[in-house]
Structure 1
Amino acid sequence: MTDIDLDQILAKRAESRGDEGNTFSFSFKGTEWTARDPQMLSDEEKDELADIGDNDIDVAEWFLGGPDKYDAFIAAGGSSSLFFQAMKAYNDKLTDEASGKPTRPNRSARRSAASSKRKAR
């Protein structure tokens, strides 16, 4: 028996995402945007990304799925900087989950916060 079953992890991720499990989504200006997950890139995708270089606009366009999707993001008021903020927030969320930090307050934390509010009055 192995310690980690990657097939199971990938299947669970694909099921929860409703795709191949290689994207992440974020909301901006009332729209849900989907981008390639930087942690799930294939070797071929990593080669493509390396060929693009380090121009933020080109990289953001690539992650969002091409010029049409990037142009729609820009038209909604986005920018490459905002896209990279979304990517950073996603990576931070994954880091917190991996380290055991809850991504939302649990019941105990909510009760403690409510109690602190009552005491502050």
Structure 2
Amino acid sequence: MRLILSAFAALFLLIGCQQEVDHEYNEVSIKDEESNVLVTSADFEKASIQEDSDRLRVKVDFKDSKLPEEMTEQYLNEQVYIYLGDKEIASPIIRKVTNNDSIQIIGDYTKEEAEQFVSVINQ
């Protein structure tokens, strides 16, 4: 009986771990320090990953070309928080005001997180 219970416990543990690994995200957002949402997936047109020799960048194009300028101007030299679902994946500081319809996010995210971020936007 103990063996059966142990087997079921192990199975439930493995199923729980597998669900965490396979979790698919359907929303990305950028928030300020007070967790106010600045932009969401709905604000983005498309995204791509750009790899340099020493870092990973995500380039996002906005549907409204005024939005990136307004956001970067308002939060210049401040930290913003990049979320994949409810998981914070990066916390870059806005270093310059952009006057076009895209921004580049250089953050402390993994390649897998960057790929998921881009996938959600491009779906």
> TM tier, shorter chain?
under 0.3
User: Which structure is higher in strand share?
Assistant: 2
> Greater RCO between the two (CA within 8 Å, min separation 6)?
2
User: Which structure is higher in helix share?
Assistant: 1
Alignment TM-score, normalising by the size of structure 2: 0.25
Alignment TM-score, normalising by the size of structure 1: 0.26
